[in-house]
Structure 1
Amino acid sequence: MVKIFKATQQKKAIGQTLDLEIERLDNNGLGVAIYKGKPVFVAETLPNEKVKVRVVEHKNKYMKAKLLSVTSMSSNRVDVQCRHFSQCGGCDLQHLSSEQQRAFKQQKISNLFNREGMNNLPWQSAVHDEAWKYRRKARIGVQFDKRGDAIIGFRKKLTNELISIKTCPVLEQTLANVFVELKSTVAQLTQYKSIGHIEVIANAERNNVVIRQLEKLTEHDRNCWLAAEQKFDWQVFIDDGNKVSTLCSNSHIALNYALNEQLTINFRPDDFIQVNAKVNQKMVAQAIDWLALSNDEQVLDLFCGIGNFSLAMAKQCKHVIAVEGVATMTEHAKLNAKANRIDNCQFYHADLNADWKLQGWAKNKFDKVLLDPARAGAFEACQQLAELKPKLILYVSCEPASLARDSKLLLAAGYQIEKIALIDMFSQTKHVETMVLFRQN
């Protein structure tokens, strides 16, 4: 009877209009108010704002509500630059000033570290650049309505449904028209429902379009993509799930970015690269500065990818051993070393989430270590690094929760945090990149 009564009360609450005051932002950038002792989460709101909302979800421990109006506005609120902001799931914080976005992200990291017992972090200045038109790579969804018309865009917040988009202000300027161009091309296809998604990559020479093709491409559709390639000055790739290839077998896959004045990194469409080119350059430069490399030191680079940090470090030290878990990226990294005429950097393929201490490359004496893992972090690698005892460990992270967990492990192994900085790689979103320097006590 009690459960039935609670369920009835919760159902009645849905649709109710409330006047609330937002107290803080949660880790996802949602405003949090308290109503009758229960937290209420409201998107697009800011601390200290008074708002009118409508309840859309009521659970035992929390409520969710939709913003109807802001009756008292925060001084940190700014006008959003995208008409799709309220619906699109790509951005979370366009209504918050860039400076306060960075403050929110730094506090988010601090809160996660505090939960693990790490306080008074030695924060350095955040690394950042332009807040708009920065993203050089994005995955675009393709769906079709009941009439068979293509919907080209990003997913709506908290759904698998797409919102049709004409332009996106966080994408690099060269990609400004790509949604309209894709829509006009897809409309001509006969096999349109065989497209899984489309990835776009801005490059110095031209834009690159990668089609995830679920079925073999017909001759008609191939000709459509060839025509679009000429018309819009694209390079089109087909991803069949096993490999990525150009439309024409004799075409050369040539994508690259400048890391600094000395280094150019070549990559394939399916390689991981940082989406923010300018912030990436600054991040690599700061890593070099923090590590203070000298020409008699040997460095270990774990989760090295295609050499984003490795090659820059090799210019500053005696020798770099770089290790990556994806075999194809290891091979591409070797090619990058050769192309940049770097012979003091060796690349190896290994599972860094397993025991790698007995690998031949791991038997070297390393003065310093850099690691840049995926969102899951590097718990197993950190356990083994603690046994190798390098004097400095530089950890670059895209997930603060796993970073806090791994940092606690390193502190227990006798390291201390010497520096920490926010890397604002993903402006307008809740996502966070962080750099931490650990020194052996």
Structure 2
Amino acid sequence: MTKQQAPVAKNEYYDVTFTDLTHDGLGVAKVDGFPLFVKHALPGERAKVKVIKVKKGYGYGRLMELYEPSPDRVEPPCPVYRQCGGCQLQHLSYEGQLKAKEKQVKEVLARIGKLEGVTVHPVIGMKNPWRYRNKAQVPVGEREGGLVAGFYKERSHEIIDMDACLIQQEANDVVVQTVKRIAERYGIPPYDEATHKGVLRHIVARYGTATGEVMVVLVTRTERLPHEQEIVRAIVRDIPNVKSIVQNVNPERTNVIFGAKTRVLWGSEFITDRIGDIQFAISARSFYQVNPEQTKVLYDKALEYAELTGSETVMDAYCGIGTISLFLARKAKHVYGVEIVPEAIEDAKRNAELNGIRNVTFEVGAAEDVIPRWYQEGIRADCLVVDPPRKGCDASLLETIIAMKPPRVVYVSCNPATLARDLRILEDGGYETIEVQPVDMFPHTAHVECVAKIRLR
């Protein structure tokens, strides 16, 4: 279908009925079989839409008038929801969100994975799906001479100034507002992307949900932070439970948040938090799950699927700072964790020490290189756990798993589409997918995590 043949035209209006949601939370309607994707629309709704963009096989529309709302539609409680790009589903009831995520997982497993008859359980949601994020990373800018700090407007670099984010821990809101006020008081110029001038680029807040400890990170363009001592004293005075104040220097023209250099301005280099009864040390740049309450649910399910009795050797590919490895180590004979990021492995070793867990071995490297070497050294996995990034498992790691045939594989996934693709490869290599448990780690967003239980046929 070429652009000329599309049955819709830009800036024209159409009456449509929405039939589905995309994986990123857009409503889907069809005009003569031609898909239109529309923000803030829900399945079952009838509406008038304006076409704002026409691509080769699909288009984008804007919701102009709702004739028939979905019974699952709710009023978003966040005042900046329609401008901010942080959440996609606040206009859908929480029950509706969980149903939509379950449907997404089922459809993707069938369409991409060609997996028939696999049990997909209902999504495990949160009792209170608000105020769950333990980390805020907020860009700083200037408007009418005053400092603004908030999230970017969707698909733009315009900062939406906000006092509170309803999916952030309240302690993080306090950090952002307090630091903004202190920086303004001492005339700290915000970073300007266009001119590459100014000092303060981002305010990052981290909060230990179980411990109440707070970390404040000031990301600056310059090594020198003007009024450093006064700013530190003011933060210590005004922010409850602050344990760590850190400066990170990022002098580059980039939209990456952190630079290579980090120094402690006051207090500790780390704060601590717990998931279950395992303690974690978290530094400014540590990777750590942003929703510890649901992380425990996810890892408990991974532990259940691993079926450990205490005599097993487990391998954890993509082990990060050792979160899953340490959970598994208490029920296994020995856990071997591998991760390509050297700083994460340093954190993993520190976390093992912090918890007195000795039956773990952590190594830096690519899983597809390290795991075959372990096998050559005579180490055999009774269970292999993978928790890859959004792009899924490296193809050569999947080949390694198929060649080495561990009896059980547990796949923790943050992207149902790449999970489905990888499960298909494992199925073709002699494995069977037994069941999949989705977990809602990020309420009010379109993301869903899954744990899959896989056995060698």
Q: Name which of 233, 236, 244 aligns with 1:229.
A: 236
Deviations 1:108-135 (A, max 9, x none): 2222222232223211242332311111
What TM-score, normalized by structure 2, do the two folds share?
0.88
Distance 1:355 1:402 in 2: 22
Structure 2 equivalent of residue 402 of structure 1: 418
Distance 1:50 1:78 in 2: 16
**Deviation (angstroms), 1:222:** 5.0
Tell me which moved more, 377-386 or 213-222.
213-222
Structure 2 equivalent of residue 414 of structure 1: 430
1:35 and 2:42 matched: no
Tell me which moved more, 229-238 or 266-275.
229-238
1:113 and 2:128 matched: no
Structure 2 equivalent of residue 207 of structure 1: 214
Distance 1:313 1:330 in 2: 17
Deviations 1:153-194 (A, max 9, x none): 111122222211111111113234344323312323334322
Q: Name which of 445, 449, 455 aligns with 1:429.
A: 445
Distance 1:8 1:440 in 2: 47
- The one-letter amino acid paired with 1:422 is P
**Deviation (angstroms), 1:273:** 0.8
Q: 1:388 to 1:353 in 2, by over 3 A?
A: closer
Q: Retained in 2: the 8 A contact 1:42–1:64?
A: yes
Q: Retained in 1: the 8 A contact 2:385–2:410?
A: yes
Structure 2 equivalent of residue 84 of structure 1: 80
Deviations 1:186-223 (A, max 9, x none): 32333432233222211223322222222112342453
Structure 1 equivalent of residue 165 of structure 2: 168
How many residues matched? Answer: 432
Deviations 1:383-419 (A, max 9, x none): 2111221111001011222212211111111110011
1:18 and 2:10 matched: no
**Deviation (angstroms), 1:60:** 4.1
Tell me which moved more, 228-237 or 396-405.
228-237
What TM-score, normalized by structure 1, do the two folds share?
0.91
Q: Name which of 198, 220, 228 aligns with 2:227.
A: 220
Deviations 1:229-266 (A, max 9, x none): 32123332111222322213xx32231221213x2122
Task: Please state whether the residue corresponding to 1:192 is helix, strand or coil.
Answer: coil
Distance 2:275 2:176 in 1: 28
Distance 2:330 2:94 in 1: 34
Q: Name which of 254, 260, 270 aligns with 2:270.
A: 254
Q: 1:59 to 1:320 in 2, by over 3 A?
A: closer
Deviations 1:321-366 (A, max 9, x none): 1111111111221121112111111111112254641257864011
**Structure 2: runs of 5+ lacking an equivalent:** 192-198, 250-258
Distance 2:318 2:6 in 1: 52
Q: Retained in 2: the 8 A contact 1:296–1:318?
A: yes
Distance 1:367 1:6 in 2: 57
Deviations 1:135-167 (A, max 9, x none): 11122122223x342221111122222211111
Q: 1:418 to 1:9 in 2, by over 3 A?
A: closer
Q: Retained in 1: the 8 A contact 2:141–2:190?
A: no
Distance 1:366 1:109 in 2: 28
1:244 and 2:277 matched: no
What RMSD, in angstroms, separates the aligned Cα atoms of the two structures? 2.3
- The one-letter amino acid paired with 1:406 is D
Structure 1 equivalent of residue 129 of structure 2: 131
Q: Name which of 184, 197, 215 aligns with 2:181.
A: 184
Structure 2 equivalent of residue 152 of structure 1: 149
Task: Please state whether the residue corresponding to 1:338 is helix, strand or coil.
Answer: helix
Q: Retained in 2: the 8 A contact 1:299–1:369?
A: yes
Task: Please state whether the residue corresponding to 2:424 is helix, strand or coil.
Answer: helix
Deviations 1:275-332 (A, max 9, x none): 1110011111111122120111111111111121111211111111111111111122
What percentage of aligned pairs have identical amino acids? 28
Distance 1:78 1:9 in 2: 32
Tell me which moved more, 110-119 or 159-168.
110-119
Q: Retained in 1: the 8 A contact 2:101–2:123?
A: no
Distance 1:418 1:360 in 2: 26
Q: 1:111 to 1:228 in 2, by over 3 A?
A: same
Distance 2:418 2:124 in 1: 21
Q: Retained in 2: the 8 A contact 1:415–1:439?
A: yes
**Structure 1: runs of 5+ lacking an equivalent:** none
Q: 1:225 to 1:9 in 2, by over 3 A?
A: farther
1:386 and 2:402 matched: yes
Distance 2:162 2:393 in 1: 37
Task: Please state whether the residue corresponding to 2:218 is helix, strand or coil.
Answer: strand
Distance 2:342 2:170 in 1: 33
Distance 1:143 1:362 in 2: 54
- The one-letter amino acid paired with 2:11 is G
Structure 1 equivalent of residue 91 of structure 2: 95
Structure 1 equivalent of residue 195 of structure 2: none
Task: Please state whether the residue corresponding to 2:263 is helix, strand or coil.
Answer: strand
Structure 2 equivalent of residue 195 of structure 1: 200
Q: Retained in 1: the 8 A contact 2:17–2:47?
A: yes
Structure 2 equivalent of residue 351 of structure 1: 366
**Deviation (angstroms), 1:106:** 2.1
- The one-letter amino acid paired with 2:322 is G
Q: Which runs of 4+ in 1 moved over 4 A?
A: 5-10, 353-356, 359-362
Q: 1:298 to 1:159 in 2, by over 3 A?
A: same
Distance 2:289 2:41 in 1: 29
